[in-house]
Amino acid sequence: MKDTGTTGAGPGGETARADNERRVEIETVRVWDPLLRLFHWSLAIAVTGAWLLGQFGPDVMTLHFWFGYAVLGLLAFRAVWGFVGPRNARFGSFIYGPVPIAKYLGHMFHRKPSYWPGHNPLGGLFVFIILGLIAVQAATGLFADPEDYINVGPLAEYVGTDAARTALSWHAILGWAVLAIVALHVAAIGFYNKWKGENLVRPMITGKKSVRKDL
């Protein structure tokens, strides 16, 4: 499906004059494959469930552990899919250097959709940060030992007492860091939707996204 239109300057000013002076051809294409979309929503559920159970769950945190295992399993899948999956799922498609990231930041607040195929430079960087943070946070739980003889990580016995206590401490600290980065993620989605008029949730449901043909 194709449509052609002009990008307007809008309330954001005249900083995108080059784009505003030429017509931009847009096409709707499939960007996110079914497995990547399933991974995304499954990870959201698993991380949310693990965090809520960690903060408000019962004293015996068996279900919290299972959510944690699910998170690690999903991350393992994403690591593999980042190399063998479709183009937009591969890590190589959204690894950008400082210059492209800075250039994108310079245009980020223009009040118009970016129509970027796949992850834009800033979004690509964010993907690596959030996946890495969740991976480290979940991994520390494997080695944590709260000394209650119940909620002991499955790998705690293979490290010393001090290491197990350190893992427990970092698991708690990084849990709040995960909450913060997820909140930032949701805020960014709201920003793109309200300010730039770009719905980032629908493509992660349908797989289809409107993109610029010249990108």
- CATH number for 57: 1.20.950.20
In a domain, 179, yes or no: yes
Among residues 2, 5, 41, 24, the alpha carbon closest in space to that of 206 is found at 41
Q: Supply the pLDDT for residue 148.
A: 87
Q: Which residue has the tokens 């949310």?
A: 48
Q: Supply the pLDDT for residue 132.
A: 97
In a domain, 25, yes or no: no
Give me the helices (H) in the chain, please.
Answer: 17-20, 34-56, 62-84, 98-107, 121-143, 161-194, 201-206
In a domain, 53, yes or no: yes
Q: Supply the pLDDT for residue 6.
A: 41
| Residue 104 identity (one-letter amino acid) | Y
Bridge partners, residue 210, by sequence? 28
Q: Supply the pLDDT for residue 213.
A: 79
Q: Supply the pLDDT for residue 25.
A: 84
In a domain, 210, yes or no: no
In a domain, 13, yes or no: no
Bridge partners, residue 4, by sequence? 25
Bridge partners, residue 24, by sequence? 5
| DSSP label at residue 94 | G
In a domain, 136, yes or no: yes
Mean pLDDT by 10 residues, the chain (215 residues): 42 44 76 97 97 92 96 98 97 95 93 91 96 97 92 94 96 96 96 95 95 73
Q: Supply the pLDDT for residue 26.
A: 87
The pTM (predicted TM-score) of the whole model is 0.85
What total number of domains does the chain contain?
A: 1
In a domain, 29, yes or no: no
Q: How far apart are CA 137 and CA 134, in angstroms?
A: 5
Domain span including residue 171:
34-203
Residue 13 is encoded by which pair of tokens? 């000013």
Q: How far apart are CA 139 and CA 158, in angstroms?
A: 14
Any idea how long the chain is?
Answer: 215
CB within 8 Å of 191: residues ≥ 6 apart:
none
In a domain, 14, yes or no: no
